[in-house]
């Protein structure tokens, strides 16, 4: 029985990942298929950052843990993202969090965002994972003169939440910083975060989890989870895994039925990335873009980009609701048109790599870490497109919950997820949001 999923089948097939640049740079460990009847104390469903981080934490606590993935480690968004290891994970701003969950909740969330970035840095360091790290914090660029106040506001927020100084840059300074583009009217640099190669990170996490004793299974879509005498039994076409506890880590690749608790609680949406061939020194000079900062802009339909250590430019665009071949081709054309507008001196430069993946929203517009619908089941998901750091932390928190360690989980994350309206037609909400944001960007970009 195929999984009951709400996005078109193309999203789960090979096309969106076919030309993924990261796959040419790292090879996650080959893992066996789940065969026959297996047992573990903890079963983790999904081998992205969330599941692998959880598995590593559990295995290092001495637990018997098995991870099952439909494909393999880093197959989902974790092996497809832009590698921005940064603050974020919720759509809600700190003022809304404070209003909804209390002032201390806003501070707890800010601390978690920072702790998430620190956790990834520490993991790379202590596990000896070379993930091509670069960038000192991240830089937000104003896409219109009228958006300059957003930069100041972000700087003030960083000071209030973290006691750190963000640096404002005027339009005239951008060329000196190696960020020359006709598109931008100023910037602010936040001194937290760094960029990495996400597939090297996922590969390193998988290796560390295995070394610590976790068993990893791939090519094993779980098509049903049964409850039998107090255990969860994860069924695949070639085997089954029986475990006392279940950790759900399927994020944007979740389904309505495995497990049924997920139905209506998650909303997948796409993000897309172009990567150029390596740029020459002359080409970098011609554009005036030599900075290695990870950058994004003030649009709702934001662009995120960074010049990588091998001189390839990575350029990401959010959005598009449907996942069909036609939409894939349209998105690629639109991303390329945006790239040409922002970096006109590179209009001749080939972009051989373009790929897509699914990220995940929750009805409360913040990540969730908590019980997963049955005694002994837990879930961590919905990082709203910012999961390199936050999925790593959430996986660890979920593992601590499963270990009965009563971790301190920020209220905004532990609050129940709720369900989206419109049932399996809930992607219409994205369609509405997409058009609203397009109009807002047009209006905000005029001056
Ligand atoms: C194009 C793109 C760019 C992004 N850029 C950034 C960025 O720069 N910075 C940032 O912080 N975040 C970014 N994100 C978001 C980030 O990648 C995700 O939040 C994060 O990777 C989520 O990790 P995860 O482990 O929860 O989910 P995933 O990595 O998506 O893993 C879920 C896994 O579950 C498995 N699975 C699902 N159902 C089943 C089943 N029934 N049986 C077995 N296995 C199953 C899938 O095979 C998959 O491997 C981006 C996302 C995308 C798509």
Q: Rounded CA gap, 274 and 45, in Å?
A: 29
Whether 175 and 282 map to the same domain: the answer is yes
At a CB cut-off of 8 Å and minimum separation 6, what does 330 contact? 320
Handedness of CA 418, 423, 424, 427 (dihedral sign): negative
- CATH number for the domain spanning 149: value is 3.30.9.10
Q: Rounded CA gap, 83 and 294, in Å?
A: 9
If one counts the domains in the chain, the total is 2
DSSP for 6-42? SS-GGGGSSGGGTT-GGGGT--PPP-----EEEEEEE
Question: pTM of this prediction?
Answer: 0.97
Tell whether 127 is covered by a domain.
no
pLDDT tens, position by position, 67-93: 999 999 999 999 999 999 999 999 999
Helix ranges (H only) for 198-245 are 198-211
Of 60 and 437, the structure prediction assigns the larger pLDDT to 60
Q: What's the 345 CA to ligand 1 centre distance in angstroms?
A: 33
Whether 244 and 293 map to the same domain: the answer is no
Whether 187 and 296 map to the same domain: the answer is yes
Handedness of CA 356, 361, 367, 373 (dihedral sign): negative
Whether 309 and 275 map to the same domain: the answer is yes
Whether 55 and 167 map to the same domain: the answer is no
Whether 349 and 222 map to the same domain: the answer is no
Looking at ligand 1, which residue's alpha carbon is closest to its atom 18?
387
The predicted pLDDT at position 446 comes to: 52
Question: Residue 329 above 50 pLDDT?
Answer: yes
260-264: Cβ within 8 A, 24+ apart: 260/373, 261/372, 261/373, 261/374, 261/377, 261/379, 262/379, 263/419, 264/419, 264/420, 264/423, 264/424, 264/426
Task: Provide the domain limits for residue 222.
Answer: 9-82+199-266+363-421
Whether 21 and 38 map to the same domain: the answer is yes
Q: What's the 48 CA to ligand 1 centre distance in angstroms?
A: 6
Q: What's the 270 CA to ligand 1 centre distance in angstroms?
A: 11
Tell whether 108 is covered by a domain.
no
- CATH number for the domain spanning 44: value is 3.50.50.60
Whether 218 and 289 map to the same domain: the answer is no
pLDDT tens, position by position, 244-268: 999 999 999 999 999 999 999 999 9
Tell whether 391 is covered by a domain.
yes
Q: Quick check: 152 and 168 in contact, CB under 8 A?
A: yes
Mutate to test the pocket of ligand 1, among 302, 303, 380, 385 (most ligand atoms within 8 A of CB): 385
Tell whether 223 is covered by a domain.
yes
* Nearest atom in ligand 1 to 294's CA: 8
The predicted pLDDT at position 59 comes to: 98
The predicted pLDDT at position 2 comes to: 79
Question: Residue 230 above 60 pLDDT?
Answer: yes
Whether 282 and 416 map to the same domain: the answer is no
pLDDT tens, position by position, 23-44: 999 999 999 999 999 999 999 9
The predicted pLDDT at position 269 comes to: 95
Whether 183 and 318 map to the same domain: the answer is yes
* Nearest atom in ligand 1 to 271's CA: 1
Half-sphere exposure of 373 (CA within 13 A, CB side): 20
According to DSSP, residue 251 is labeled G
Looking at ligand 1, which residue's alpha carbon is closest to its atom 53?
357
* Nearest atom in ligand 1 to 394's CA: 26
Whether 287 and 415 map to the same domain: the answer is no
pLDDT tens, position by position, 86-99: 999 999 999 999 99
Tell whether 111 is covered by a domain.
no
Question: Residue 447 above 50 pLDDT?
Answer: no
Residue 149 dihedral angles phi and psi, to the nearest 5°:
-60, -30
Mutate to test the pocket of ligand 1, among 18, 248, 253 (most ligand atoms within 8 A of CB): 253
Handedness of CA 439, 152, 187, 113 (dihedral sign): negative
Pocket of ligand 1 (CB under 6 A): 3, 45-51, 68-71, 75-78, 80-84, 221-222, 249-253, 255, 258, 271-273, 316, 357-359, 381, 383, 385-389, 391
Mutate to test the pocket of ligand 1, among 91, 323, 387, 397 (most ligand atoms within 8 A of CB): 387
Tell whether 183 is covered by a domain.
yes
pLDDT tens, position by position, 289-317: 999 999 999 998 899 999 999 999 999 99
Tell whether 38 is covered by a domain.
yes
Question: Residue 319 above 80 pLDDT?
Answer: no
Cα–Cα–Cα angle for 175, 177, 178, rounded to 5 degrees: 65
Of 435 and 224, the structure prediction assigns the larger pLDDT to 224
Whether 192 and 278 map to the same domain: the answer is yes
**Residues paired with residue 412 on neighbouring β-strands, in sequence order:** none
Tell whether 115 is covered by a domain.
no
């Amino acid at each position: 029985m195929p999984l009951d999923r709400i996005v078109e089948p193309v999203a789960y097939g090979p096309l969106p990942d076919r030309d993924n640049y990261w796959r040419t740079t790292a090879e996650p460990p080959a893992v066996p298929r789940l065969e026959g009847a297996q047992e573990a104390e903890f079963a983790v469903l999904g081998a992205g950052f969330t599941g692998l981080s959880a598995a590593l934490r559990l295995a290092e606590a001495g637990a018997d843990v098995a991870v099952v993935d439909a494909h393999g480690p880093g197959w989902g968004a974790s092996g497809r993202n832009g590698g921005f290891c940064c603050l974020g994970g919720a759509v809600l701003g700190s003022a809304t969090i404070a209003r909804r969950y209390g002032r201390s909740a806003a501070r707890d969330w800010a601390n978690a965002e920072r702790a998430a970035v620190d956790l990834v840095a520490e993991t790379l360091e202590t596990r000896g994972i070379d993930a091509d790290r670069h960038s000192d914090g991240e830089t937000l660029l104003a896409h219109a003169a009228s958006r300059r106040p957003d930069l100041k506001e972000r700087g003030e927020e960083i000071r209030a939440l973290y006691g750190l100084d963000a640096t404002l840059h005027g339009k005239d300074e951008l060329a000196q910083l190696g960020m020359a583009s006709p598109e931008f009217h100023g910037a602010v640099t936040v001194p937290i975060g760094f960029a990495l190669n996400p597939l090297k990170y996922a590969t390193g996490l998988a290796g560390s989890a295995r070394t610590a004793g976790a068993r990893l299974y791939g090519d094993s879509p779980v098509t049903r989870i049964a409850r039998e005498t107090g255990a969860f039994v994860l069924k695949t076409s070639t085997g089954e895994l029986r475990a006392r506890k279940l950790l759900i880590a399927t994020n944007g690749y979740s389904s309505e039925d495995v497990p049924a608790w997920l139905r209506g609680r998650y909303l997948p949406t796409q993000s897309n990335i172009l990567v150029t061939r390596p740029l020459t020194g002359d080409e970098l000079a011609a554009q005036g873009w030599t900075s290695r900062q990870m950058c994004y802009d003030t649009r709702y339909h934001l662009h995120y980009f960074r010049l990588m250590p091998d001189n390839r430019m990575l350029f990401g665009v959010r959005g598009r609701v449907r996942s069909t071949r036609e939409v894939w081709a349209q998105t690629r054309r639109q991303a390329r048109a945006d790239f040409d507008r922002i970096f006109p001196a590179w209009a001749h430069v080939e972009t051989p790599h373009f790929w897509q993946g699914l990220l995940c929203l929750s009805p409360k517009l913040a990540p969730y870490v908590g019980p997963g619908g049955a005694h002994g089941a837990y879930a961590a998901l919905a990082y709203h497109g910012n999961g390199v750091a936050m999925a790593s932390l959430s996986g660890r928190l979920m593992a601590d919950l499963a270990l009965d360690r009563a971790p301190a989980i920020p209220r905004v994350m532990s609050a129940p997820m709720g369900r989206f309206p419109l049932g399996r037609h809930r992607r219409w909400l994205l369609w509405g949001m997409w058009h609203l944001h397009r109009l807002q960007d047009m209006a905000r970009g005029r001056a």
